[in-house]
Structure 1
Amino acid sequence: MDLLQYVNILPKDRNKLNWAEANGLWAIARNKLIGLSTLEVYIDQAQDKELKMLVELGTTKNAVPHIKMIVKLLHEEGLDVPSMLGRSSLENIGKNTGEKNFFKDHEIAVSLREVIRLSLFITFRAIESAVRSDVMDLAFKVFRDDFIGFRQLIDLQTRKNWLMSSPGVGTQNINARERLNWGEACGLWSIARDKLIKLNLYEIYLSQVVDAELKKALESAAKKTVIPHIKKINLMLHEEEFEIPSMFGRTSLDLNVRDTGDLYFLKDYDIAVNMREHLRTVLFLDFEAIMDSVRSDAMDLLWDIFSEDLQGLRDIIEIQKKKNWLLSPPAVGPEHKAQR
């Protein structure tokens, strides 16, 4: 018996938020509302002028506007929003912690980095599960804003000698440049390895795909992201005198469509849904590497890779929508609506 014939795996109304999207947005707003009280303490306690300004801007220009944008979208969908946790509004930000300075500036800086890391992780989860364009746009805006603040904080920590990161790999100094730390080196290596593995799969998919639009997306992903990303990462690792991932028997990074014979054993639908999962996997690896990165050139490279992989995910989601191939959680139904 084919049990799948009794299961409606596609949401009936793709214009509604699905469960993952609603939960992702709600979690971002909740996290930022909870974090406001901590940020208010940091603002009042910070003595260093640059640090105080960074926390103030992160609060008033990022956290508060992000909460408002998400709450507005959830209200428009008729959904519950996170509790304000006793706040009467989001307009009066600030706390009086007294005259005693019980937080040192370096303690605030290292704690704030962890606060932003958690916020970025929660927002990343919302991005990789989103299918509606406006939700993806909003989640990516929040992520990008927080990432800019994350980089500014790391720059401040570096200049003030407050930076806590994993040790550099090796002891020699390459061209008087700071070595990649363990997290950066491992993150870059893992992305290159994953993309090498995916390249083999894409070459098989290209031999099986029938739909012209999906074929174009596969070719574009391989030629414009997968292969260039491997080359750029391998170049950085080579310049650092590190080993690069094994080529798995490949003699080059050229795209070579495999000869799989005359039998089409993969349907276009199978290829599309698997391609989306491949992109979600590499986005997670991109994100992990970014979170451990402190060196500007490594962070620049990783941000470019992440942004291009995310665009690839968005492209495949649009194809899935158009072809009715989209597998996503059910839409939020009337029973999940806020009670008015």
Structure 2
Amino acid sequence: MRASLTPTDAPLRARLLALALAVAVLAAVAVVATVRAADRAAEKDRAQPGEPAAHAGEVTLRQPGRLLFRNLAWGPQRDRVSAVPLTATSGPRTSAPRDCLRFHAAAGTGVCLRATGGVVPGHEAVLLDARLRPVRAFPVPGTPTRARVSPSGRLVAWTVFVSGDSYAGGAFSTRTAVYDTRGGTLHSDLERFAVLKDGRRHRAADHNFWGVTFAADDSRFYATLATGGRTYLVAGDLASRTMRTLRENVECPSLSPDGTRVAFKKRVAGASADAPWRLHVLDLRTGRESALAERRSVDDQALWLDDRTLLYALPGDFGADLWSTPTAGGGAPRMAVRSAASPAVTG
């Protein structure tokens, strides 16, 4: 005799059917996600027509006359620290097995800000030796945005976004650290330094610092301070753990090789809120500032290629391209390196 369903069996069957459908949907979603991830990985491994050629090889910080950067050309070497001769920056690039989101190097010391794997993804700052081998790693509490090494290679600085991901608006928070490779001292947060504004101690809960650039004496540095909706160029001293404001409306300073000028991005009146900056150069002795020929908004900490030329990143077809412009204010910008960011020059 066939058993008949009781009133309590029907809801149970409905729940089981719903559960089976849910499991099937989740399985389908997982399959689609896996296929898409595989497609993206395969796309990354395929070089695109017209992109610069990159091949794996040895890259060191002791080769003079080389430009190093984060390679953004699609292919197996994307995101890796790569190098080209300064005399042939558009030629094939050599890539080391070192993936970085931000990179800088000087005098045989490198810093690589990179993502970490694991169950809970994160980021870290990795110190590199002259052969780009990891020396020491520091967990960082946010998304990498700036990195700098002092001219001597002794001091290393990095900045991360703790919240927010753009300097264009005001809703962000940063954390900036400085590490002394010789003494082993880590200044984990510049917000712990004393700030002097107009000769008086300035205290505020909204202090944010970024864009450190070092002087040659391995004690003095410059950086950006944001507070009260404004930005300032600050001069800092590691020995006294102090900073003093020098000038308003200065972001991402970069000190010239001779220590007399600072390149920076400045917010200009009438510009779009999403693209508000123009590159300028400030003469620290006279206080005179000059707008540069690059009129596009540059959201980067420019690098002095030499006393006469700045390098900086602008959005490109595959992430970013490196451009150059004269520091004297004349001339015209030109493409320096396609599909590249985070430059450094070996002496």
TM-score, normalising length from structure 2? Answer: 0.22
Normalized per residue, the structure richer in helix is 1
Higher relative contact order (CA 8 A, sep 6+): 1
* Structure with bigger gyration radius: 2
TM-score, normalising length from structure 1? Answer: 0.22
Normalized per residue, the structure richer in strand is 2
